[in-house]
Chain A
């Protein structure tokens, strides 16, 4: 026979677990951030250098034939070197977002976006940096000779519907 105290304890644990589950579900549902699946063959190496206190992420969007975009997911650039897989033969739209916050300066976010259409069997390097309030994103295609050729940034407005 269970005592009243034990029954209350079981009830508390049940309701606490249920509440926690509901809150977590709500938080997950409310958050629009989806982690980029990154399941494709890795064809892009991202080299990141940022000041401490600066968070860098890439939002990746699939570009549809009509130039509309669909959010694929976000990659947090929390390692100096990361390998990602982008689909070849079609364009991806990438938005690089730098967020920083300080006690006196408040929080701020600046972004840089470009289209990239990776070619099959070609590897790409993306150098991402944010140092002393200066940021840069440079994309190189790695040639067969192991030389690198810079690829010019293209805005979404440059996309031509098929």
Chain B
């Protein structure tokens, strides 16, 4: 599925999310709280054999490298031509309790923002890694149940410390 279709699905799911609660989540906490009840919202949990601080270090290394990007997509039909410019904004937080990765998308062109947009854009994914034991962590992904397969695969790789690379966000 190409990026335009996925973006449209993600945006629609966000609209449903906002429709359910009357606004778009303005913080990561609001996103965590409101996503489980939202249309196409999914909370996925899994465990990895790494400490949450190691996961945090990988997030800190890879998120700015891979997700601090601007993606331009175009769609053209016989009667229209549309350009969507999206700035991706990742944030990594490491506390003594958990590691957090927030991914936000700021549509700079081609998408009408009906709802109030948080400073770095709409939240599209939040990932938490919390300790289970010294070298084991539980990872929780708050995300849409459709699309973003490449991004999800990459972040799972970062969490597990395997096959580390950047997701091709045009896919």
Complex-state Cα separation, A134 to B169, whole angstroms: 9
B150 proximity list for chain A (CB < 8 A): 133-134
Asked if B19 is an interface residue, CB under 8 A from chain A, the answer is no
A129 proximity list for chain B (CB < 8 A): 165
Task: Pick the residue among B65, B157, B163, B169 that contacts A110 (CB under 8 A).
Answer: B169
Complex-state Cα separation, A32 to B164, whole angstroms: 33
Asked if B154 is an interface residue, CB under 8 A from chain A, the answer is yes
Q: Scan B142-159; emit 1 where CB is below 8 A from any A CB, else 0.
A: 000000001001100100
The answer to whether residues A153 and B168 also contact, given A106-B2, A134-B154, A134-B157 and a CB cut-off of 8 A, is no
Asked if B167 is an interface residue, CB under 8 A from chain A, the answer is yes
Q: Scan B1-37; emit 1 where CB is below 8 A from any A CB, else 0.
A: 0110000000000000000000000000000000000
Number of A interface residues, CB 8 Å? Answer: 16
Asked if A135 is an interface residue, CB under 8 A from chain B, the answer is yes
Asked if B166 is an interface residue, CB under 8 A from chain A, the answer is yes
Asked if A19 is an interface residue, CB under 8 A from chain B, the answer is no
Asked if B93 is an interface residue, CB under 8 A from chain A, the answer is no
B50 → A minimal CB distance (Å): 19
B164 proximity list for chain A (CB < 8 A): 136
Complex-state Cα separation, A110 to B167, whole angstroms: 10
Complex-state Cα separation, A159 to B31, whole angstroms: 36
Asked if A112 is an interface residue, CB under 8 A from chain B, the answer is yes
Complex-state Cα separation, A105 to B4, whole angstroms: 11
Contact A110 B2 (CB under 8 A): no
Complex-state Cα separation, A108 to B154, whole angstroms: 18
Contact A110 B165 (CB under 8 A): no
A-B contacts besides A98-B168, A133-B171, A135-B166, 9 pairs, CB < 8 Å: A108-B168, A109-B170, A112-B166, A133-B150, A133-B167, A134-B153, A134-B157, A135-B165, A136-B166
The 6 closest A-B pairs by CB, nearest first: A136-B165, A108-B170, A134-B165, A133-B150, A133-B168, A133-B171
Contact surface of B with A, Cβ cutoff 8 Å? 2-3, 65, 150, 153-154, 157, 163-171
Selected A-B contacts with CB under 8 Å, 26 pairs: A98-B168, A105-B171, A106-B2, A108-B3, A108-B171, A109-B170, A110-B169, A110-B170, A112-B65, A130-B168, A132-B153, A133-B153, A133-B168, A133-B171, A134-B150, A134-B153, A134-B154, A134-B157, A134-B165, A134-B166, A134-B167, A134-B168, A135-B165, A135-B166, A136-B164, A136-B165
